[in-house]
Amino acid sequence: MADGPRVAVQPAPFDVAAELAALTAGRHDIGAIGSFVGTVRDSVGGRRLAAMTLEHYPAMTERALAGIVAEATQRWPLLGVTVIHRVGRLQPGEGIVLVLAASAHRAAALAATGFLIDWLKTRAPFWKQEHFDDGTSAWVAARSEDEAAAAAWGEAPPPPA
Amino acid sequence: MADGPRVAVQPAPFDVAAELAALTAGRHDIGAIGSFVGTVRDSVGGRRLAAMTLEHYPAMTERALAGIVAEATQRWPLLGVTVIHRVGRLQPGEGIVLVLAASAHRAAALAATGFLIDWLKTRAPFWKQEHFDDGTSAWVAARSEDEAAAAAWGEAPPPPA
Amino acid sequence: MAELRILYFAWLRERVGRSEETLELPAEVRTVAALRRHLIARGDGYPALAEPTVRVAVNQAMADAATALAPGDEVAFFPPVTGG
Amino acid sequence: MAELRILYFAWLRERVGRSEETLELPAEVRTVAALRRHLIARGDGYPALAEPTVRVAVNQAMADAATALAPGDEVAFFPPVTGG
């Protein structure tokens, strides 16, 4: 990738159009851009959600994301990658995470997009806490489907303790 | 889907940010949005590309796209779909096609995004002609990988004559 | 309409030399396969229709060699699609 | 530094009752597994560290029970991640 990947962890909202423009600015070798946006829903398991808090491990987060991006760049011929993850308190409808992957052809762009979000979900140190309308809060439990989705890409790193 | 899918065939550029905003406006049940953007590259097989022309079969195009979107909507629990395909003469760097698929969860959003672009590539009546810097032009040949990608989703319609 | 409307796209349009035409449906042409034979027999650019990759749609829906034709139908011949 | 820096996140932070602390590395604590046992033995909220789902990172890299510890290391305990 000419300019290297863009990885950011921030409380501020991300601007998808600006990120797309930055990823493709002056680049005419890109033929395909896959993207994923994760957003805060307003209900979970039938309960109304008032807000969500994203906690993270600052010293490790960008390093973990950079490692995931490096792995994707090794697996596919990517021409650009952007990963932005928000932290702090978010309202329903707000964006949580943005992944962009650009390549000459769509197969690599779409596969890398799926890989990046699947690995991010199981390997980057973020934790979600849901705040409900009734004043209670709960930490989101990890889903076995997420582990399965990440493992399906193969070559997992050593299992954690 | 509350407002039904948005399908458009147009010479004008599309605005990804505006399309994303329209897809998610007032919706807090969406948790994941997959997207794909196809763009014109500036070189093909080592030859410099000056422009590309997209021809289509107007009476059939939107109908074919609507059918592909309907199939996606049957296969996944989608909360919104946008498919915009440009026609006419396009310059390197310009967008050709935009696919957006929204759902509560990422697996459906990402799978539907891949399905929509794979089926569109093999079932919607568009043809690309490449115009090279040396003044020559050539119709793009269909790729067997595209047929294989579309067929991998299963349940293909009856084969054409 | 007692006529067929026939459309050609992309390189098939260029080879046939026209984008559309109308045809008084001959009595013996009752299927896509028969229409294709009828057109190829004209010579000039029409033998391009014999290319095995050529697709056909009848009334804007994908069709095959056995698809029946009736007066008023719109028949389109084209190469494999390459959009997206 | 002769000390370990220890961090806790998400519900483990709430259960332990702190987000970080420093610890003079005891002579017998040479691995992640030993540190975990040492902390659990304190009682109060620390037995939460015995939950089998708890993950650990040493110096910001995922680690496991056998990972060796040295003075100056940063050790983080946390639940399975749920971002994205």
What stretches in chain B show pLDDT beneath 70?
1-3, 156-161
Question: What's this model's pTM, rounded to 2 decimal places?
Answer: 0.92
Per-residue confidence (pLDDT) for residue B4, from 0 to 100: 87
Is the pLDDT at A156 greater than 80? The verdict is no
Mean pLDDT of A45-56: 96
Question: For the stretch D20-32, what's the b/e string if a residue is b when 16 or more beta carbons lie within 10 angstroms of its beta carbon?
Answer: eeeeebeeebebb
Domains defined along chain A, listed by start = 6-139 (3.90.1170.40)
pLDDT of A129:
98
Q: What is the ipTM of this complex?
A: 0.91
Q: Per-residue pLDDT averaged across A83-90, rounded?
A: 98
Pick the CATH number of C3-78 from 3.40.640.10, 3.10.20.30, 3.40.50.300, 1.10.645.10: 3.10.20.30
With CA atoms as reference, the chain D residue closest to A126 would be D83
pLDDT digits (tens, 9 = 90+) for C34-48: 999 999 999 999 999
Q: So what's the pLDDT on residue C52?
A: 94
Does residue C1 surpass a pLDDT of 80? no
- In sign, the C-alpha dihedral spanning B78, B80, B86, B87 is positive
Distance from CA of B76 to the nearest CA of C (A): 21
Both tokens of residue A103?
A: 């390549």
Q: Between chains, do C83 and B120 touch, taking CB under 8 Å as contact?
A: yes
Question: From residue B25, how far is each of B17, B28, B30, D46 by CA, in Å?
Answer: 12, 8, 10, 45
The whole-angstrom separation of Cα B59 and Cα B62 is 7
Report, as an integer, the average pLDDT of A137-153.
93
User: Average model confidence (pLDDT) for chain A?
Assistant: 93
pLDDT (0 to 100) of residue A121 = 96
Q: State the best of B20, B24, B41 to mutate against chain A, taking most chain A CBs within 10 Å.
A: B41
Residue of B121, B122, B125 with shortest CB distance to C78: B125
What sign does the CA torsion over D23, D29, D31, D34 have? negative
Check whether A160 has a pLDDT greater than 50: no
- Per-residue pLDDT, B156: 55
Rounded CA separation A122/A159 (Å): 11
Looking at residue A158, its pLDDT comes to: 42
pLDDT band at residue A2, thresholds of 50, 70 and 90?
low
> By the CB < 8 Å criterion, does C43 face chain B?
no
Chains D and C touch (3+ CB pairs under 8 A): no
Could you tell me what percent of chain D has a pLDDT over 70?
Answer: 99
pLDDT at D1: 55
Residues in chain B closer than 8 A to C11 (CB atoms):
127, 139
Mean pLDDT along residues A72-88: 98
Query: What integer pLDDT is reported at residue A155 of this predicted model?
Result: 72
The answer to whether residue A157 scores a pLDDT higher than 60 is no
> D touches which chains (3+ CB pairs under 8 A)?
A
